[in-house]
Structure 1
Amino acid sequence: MRVRIGPTGRPEQQLLRWMASPVLCSGGGAGVTAQQVVRAPDPQVGLAWDIASQRRTMTLDFRIDATGRPLSIVRRTPAENAYVPDAQDVVPAFAASRFAPGPERTGCTVTFTANLTPIAAAPLADVMAYTVFPTSGRAKAIADRLRMPGDDCADPEPAVLLRAFPDFKRLPDQPGYPSWSMVGYDIDRSGKPTRLRALAGSGTPALDVAARKAVAASRFERGARAGCLYFYYKRGTILPPPPAPEEDALRPAAATCPRDHVWDRKPVLTYPSGYSRRSIEGWAIVAYDVAPWGQTGNVRILQAEPTAEFGDAATAMIRNATFRAGGGGYVGCIDRVLYRIRRPGTPTAESAPD
Structure 2
Amino acid sequence: MRGLLLLARAALVPVVLLPSVAGAVIPPPPSDPKAPVKLVSFAPPPASVTCAGGPVRLLEGATPPPKVWQVWMPPVGQAGMPPYTPPPPPTSEVYGFSITADGHAQDLKRKTLSGGPGVWNTEELAAILASWRFAPGAAATDCQVDLAPSYQPLAEASPAKLFEALAAEPRNAPQLLRKAVAVGGDCGGASRRRPETIVYPDTRPFDDKTVDPAWAGLTFDIDAAGATRNVQVVAQHGAPAFAAAAAGAIAKGRYFPGPPRTRCYVAFKAMPKATEAPRRETPPPADDEACKITREELNLPEDKFFPPAFAKQRVGGRALLRFDVAPWGQIGAVEVLESQPTATFGDAARMLLASARPKPQATGHHGCVVPMVYAIPAIPDETD
Return the offset for 1:243: 4.8
**Cα displacement string for residues 250-277 of structure 1 (whole angstroms, at most 9, x for unaligned residues):** 2348653225379688578421231222
In structure 2, the partner of 1:86 is 120
CA RMSD of aligned residues (A): 4.3
Aligned pairs (5 A) from 1:46-195? 46-50=68-72, 52=87, 58-65=93-100, 69-77=103-111, 84-87=118-121, 88-99=123-134, 101-107=135-141, 108-132=143-167, 133=169, 138-140=174-176, 142-148=178-184, 151-154=185-188, 156-158=191-193, 160-174=195-209, 179-186=214-221, 192-195=227-230
2: CA distance between counterparts of 1:258 and 1:309?
28
Q: Is the 8 A contact 1:19 1:114 kept in 2?
A: yes
> Structure 1 unaligned runs (5+)?
346-354
SS in 2 for 1:276: helix
2: CA distance between counterparts of 1:224 and 1:328?
72
SS in 1 for 2:312: coil
Return the offset for 1:172: 4.4
Number of residue pairs aligned between Structure 1 and Structure 2: 329
In structure 2, the partner of 1:301 is 337
Question: For residue 118 of structure 1, what is the amino acid of its counterpart?
Answer: P
2: CA distance between counterparts of 1:66 and 1:262?
34
In structure 2, the partner of 1:217 is 252
In structure 1, the partner of 2:243 is 208
Return the offset for 1:54: 7.7
In structure 2, the partner of 1:25 is 50
In structure 2, the partner of 1:348 is none
In structure 2, the partner of 1:352 is none
In structure 1, the partner of 2:9 is none
Q: What's the TM-score once normalised by structure 1's chain length?
A: 0.71
CA spacing shift, 1:190–1:211, aligned 2, 3 Å:
same
Q: Is the 8 A contact 1:236 1:279 kept in 2?
A: yes
Equivalent of residue 64 in structure 2, options 34, 39, 42: 42
Q: Is the 8 A contact 2:272 2:313 kept in 1?
A: yes
Return the offset for 1:159: 5.1
1:231 aligns with 2:267: yes
In structure 2, the partner of 1:15 is 39
2: CA distance between counterparts of 1:93 and 1:35?
17
CA spacing shift, 1:258–1:59, aligned 2, 3 Å:
farther
Q: Is the 8 A contact 2:108 2:130 kept in 1?
A: no
CA spacing shift, 1:136–1:13, aligned 2, 3 Å:
farther
Q: Is the 8 A contact 1:3 1:52 kept in 2?
A: no
Q: Is the 8 A contact 1:61 1:76 kept in 2?
A: yes
Q: What's the TM-score once normalised by structure 2's chain length?
A: 0.66
In structure 1, the partner of 2:291 is 257
Return the offset for 1:238: 3.7
1: CA distance between counterparts of 2:298 and 2:62?
45
Q: Is the 8 A contact 1:279 1:344 kept in 2?
A: no
Return the offset for 1:223: 6.9
What percentage of aligned pairs have identical amino acids? 20
2: CA distance between counterparts of 1:262 and 1:187?
57
Q: Is the 8 A contact 1:15 1:46 kept in 2?
A: yes
**Cα displacement string for residues 309-353 of structure 1 (whole angstroms, at most 9, x for unaligned residues):** 21232234445657657636523x2101122345669xxxxxxxx
> Structure 2 unaligned runs (5+)?
1-27, 73-85
Return the offset for 1:76: 3.9
SS in 1 for 2:87: coil
- The one of the two structures with greater contact order (alpha-carbon pairs below 8 A, sep at least 6) is 2
2: CA distance between counterparts of 1:134 and 1:217?
20
